[in-house]
Amino acid sequence: MKIKPECAICIIRQVVDAVKEITDDEKEQFRLIKNTMEVIKEVYGENAVPAWMGTVVHRHLKKISNNEDPYKNLKEKANKIALKYLDKVRELCNDNNDLERLRKKVLASIAGNVIDFGAYSTDIDIEKLIEDTLNDKLKIDNSKELLEDLKNEKIKKVLYICDNAGEIIFDRILIEEILKYNKEVVAVVKGKPILNDATLEDAKIANIDKICRVITTGSDIIGIILEECSEEFLEEFRSADLIIAKGMGNYESLTEYENEIDKPIYYILKAKCKPVAENIGVNVGDNILLKR
């Protein structure tokens, strides 16, 4: 997926947010933002992929600020919020119908994404946001196709590419459901910190390493850049029979490789911005389970 002109707003907002996490010194904030704006000018253009553009920009910001994990505090807060609501979300996902239970757990994994907003504000009712998402519908709903694939004995390995800290706590609920169908699940997190994306530390907090194998991309990529991923990740990517990719960054980047992917891939996300929503053909705020 290529960027739209308004993607400039998002990348600049992200830089400002990150800088405010790095330092309270206003003079230093101006220096970091101004320096990073020069990099944005270099990588911003009509052929850019949002996630890949963001990777270059945030790597630069980490380097000039000498801060490898600007979002560390926010990630810790998001994980704590998610853990607080985990049992309630599990309870809300209970259903005797296989399809409805799977659909609810997909929505639960999307509900974890709303914790992004909560990590930045004390004014937001996180519990209401989570419940609203769980009670919402999937605007694009390929849950029947996903259930059929999970019941297909020829599909043995599922590569589950995670998105954010906090959200990864609820990913466990969906991974547990996939494991019921006797699938091998390999969960993927980032090899190094970038934005608020989940790393191995977050996967351990979610106890995902207790139920399936966890690997990293081997790098600090927003989304996926196959050319920069570790050989371990590439081997799992090639050998997987089905891929589940969480979040907008993975959608933005993996759609660039779709002609090369010869297996079912499911995108699970909330369309948080107009460019992604328009690319998919939905409205901003819609919940998506899309098979490609």
Mean pLDDT per 10-residue interval, the chain, length 292 residues: 95 94 97 97 96 97 97 92 93 95 97 70 73 93 98 98 96 98 98 96 98 98 97 98 97 95 96 95 96 96
The helix/strand/coil state of 14 is: helix
As to burial, measured by CB atoms within 10 angstroms (0-12 exposed, 13-18 middle, 19+ buried), residue 80 is middle
Cα–Cα distance, 173 to 108 (Å, whole number): 8
Residues 101, 93 contacting (CB under 8 angstroms): yes
Cα–Cα distance, 27 to 277 (Å, whole number): 37
Cα–Cα distance, 30 to 110 (Å, whole number): 35
pLDDT at residue number 146: 98
Cα–Cα distance, 28 to 16 (Å, whole number): 12
Q: Which of 189, 179, 252, 181 is nearest to 215 (CA)?
A: 189
The helix/strand/coil state of 74 is: helix
Q: What is the CA radius of gyration of the chain?
A: 18
Residues 101, 75 contacting (CB under 8 angstroms): no
Q: What is the largest CA-CA distance in the chain?
A: 60
pLDDT at residue number 85: 92
Q: Which of 173, 284, 281 is nearest to 292 (CA)?
A: 281
Residues 150, 165 contacting (CB under 8 angstroms): no
Cα–Cα distance, 247 to 161 (Å, whole number): 9
**CA 16, 74, 89, 213 torsion: positive or negative?**
positive
Residues 36, 64 contacting (CB under 8 angstroms): yes
pLDDT at residue number 123: 61
The two structure tokens encoding residue 280: 């998919």
Compute the C-alpha angle 210/268/205, nearest 5°.
Answer: 25
pLDDT at residue number 145: 98
pLDDT at residue number 125: 79
In this structure, the dihedral spanned by the alpha carbons of residues 221, 78, 215 and 152, taken in order and rounded to 10 degrees, is: -110
Cα–Cα distance, 143 to 65 (Å, whole number): 43
> 34: Cβ–Cβ under 8 A, 6 or more apart, which residues?
none
